[in-house]
Structure 1
Amino acid sequence: MKIYLAGPLFSNAERGFLDTIAARLRAEGFEVFVPHEQFAEQKFMRSDGDSTADEVYAVDLAGVMGANAVLAWLDGTQVDDGTSVEIGIFSRLAAQDPARYKGIIGLSTDMRVARRKGLVPADGINLFVVGAIRASGEVVWSVDEAVAALIRLRDRP
């Protein structure tokens, strides 16, 4: 099963965490599309238009459409805007072809969110984003839970 790994990728720490998750998923036998692996880092730092928004959109959209599931990292004071778009696109794909597009797993490891768990609707994560995730998947609270949820999606008939 091919996983699209969505999440913020704008700092070394963010890319490092996504790389760690990707390595774990690959060790579990998943094929993983990681957006920041698709472009040389220097392209994102240039101001001469070497890497255009159109190019990034085309490559990432192909990654989303080529995946069977999305693992979306939700940490932060709000869900990353690009991650939200990826969730929205995949949510519609999963609704239209659930045999091909198995679902979305939202991963929150942020203690600011975990403190609200069960206290407020959607645990304080944007309601529309959580609704899109839950339409075909679930929100989990650790990488171990995310792997287990993806295995369930993979093994679902």
Structure 2
Amino acid sequence: MSKKKTIYLAGPLFTHAELEYNRKLKDLLLKKGFSVFLPQEDAEDAANERERQNQECIFRKCVKGVDNSDIVVAVLDGVDVDSGTAWEIGYAYASEKTVIGLRTDFRALSDGIVNLMVEMAIVALARDEEELLKIMEKYK
């Protein structure tokens, strides 16, 4: 029996809608048999936790989360990719982790889907949750 692959789920987590969407994605990935590190829960990276903990503690938990993951799934929605998510993508890429993007946002840049540096760091780009789950099948 093989060990469950661990996914670090990177994405913005500053609005109620973003937090809920991240939880939805986590649940979908758990149902597919993956283990999921979700920063808003596993690093306690939320507004009330930032008041209680220092920023360095949250940062270190997130870095360790990427380090301990097999795959990074990054939500790339928005006019531009969330800056923290972009950092996590870059760190994962430099660590030779597989990075898969999810962009449900139909807006596109004039010369690509997302920022060139982000686009070149990902191995696959899903346009919805169903496509993401299909892509994830080959990484089980």
Q: Please give the TM-score of this superposition, normalised by the length of structure 1.
A: 0.80
DSSP 3-state at the match of 1:111: coil
CA 20–132 in structure 1, closer or farther in 2 if over 3 Å, else same: same
For residue 49 of structure 2, the aligned residue among 40, 43, 61 is 43
DSSP 3-state at the match of 1:121: coil
- 2:30 equivalent in structure 1: 26
Map Cα deviations across residues 97-122 of structure 1 (whole Å, 9 max, x no partner).
xxxx3x11100001223xx6xxx433
Hey, what's the Cα distance between the residues in 1 that align with 2:124 and 2:7?
15
Q: Please give the TM-score of this superposition, normalised by the length of structure 2.
A: 0.89
CA 78–34 in structure 1, closer or farther in 2 if over 3 Å, else same: same
Which stretches in structure 1 are left out of the alignment for 5+ residues? 95-100
CA 69–40 in structure 1, closer or farther in 2 if over 3 Å, else same: closer
Which stretches in structure 2 are left out of the alignment for 5+ residues? none
1:109 equivalenced with 2:104 (yes/no): yes
More helix, by proportion:
1
**How many residues are treated as equivalent by the alignment?**
134
* Runs ≥4 residues deviating over 6 A: none
- 2:57 equivalent in structure 1: 55
CA 40–34 in structure 1, closer or farther in 2 if over 3 Å, else same: closer
Hey, what's the Cα distance between the residues in 2 that align with 1:40 and 1:5?
13
- 2:115 equivalent in structure 1: 126
CA 13–67 in structure 1, closer or farther in 2 if over 3 Å, else same: same
Hey, what's the Cα distance between the residues in 2 that align with 1:152 and 1:121?
29
